[in-house]
Amino acid sequence: MFNDELAAILAAFGENHDDINLFEMDVFSLINLYQVETQEWIDLFWEEDFFHPSAVGHDIIFREAAAAIGEPVPEPATVLLLGLGIQGVAGISRKNSNRSA
């Protein structure tokens, strides 16, 4: 029931906000890759409750999410600024080489 309500809220949120990308990820399947009650599995959670992810758990979740999203694509403005910067450096070096000749 809770997951259905949460899914409905997230769907409505995604429809109302074009500027935000929501990604789905099955964290339970990711955690189930580790054998229960081994040291690796214990390190995934806070020792107090074995429910909330520890720093190790968050790192694994982040890496999996980053791999699913893929490499960021540079914005056109970034590429334009890089190109202008390269042209500027080339122009300055050409100007300096003409003065010394």
Identify the pLDDT of residue 87. 93
How many other β-carbons are positioned within 10 Å of the β-carbon of residue 5? 9
Identify the pLDDT of residue 1. 64
Instruction: Give the residue among 27, 26, 22, 2 at the shortest CA–CA distance from 11.
Output: 22
Nearest 5°: the CA angle 53, 59, 65 is 100
Q: What is the DSSP letter of 53?
A: B
How many other β-carbons are positioned within 10 Å of the β-carbon of residue 57? 19
For the chain, 101 residues long, give each residue's pLDDT as a single digit of tens: 667 888 888 888 888 888 877 777 888 888 888 888 888 888 888 877 777 888 988 898 888 888 877 777 777 888 888 999 999 999 888 888 777 66
> Where exactly are the structural domains of the chain?
1-70, 71-101
Tokens 């009650």, located at residue: 37
Tokens 């990711």, located at residue: 30
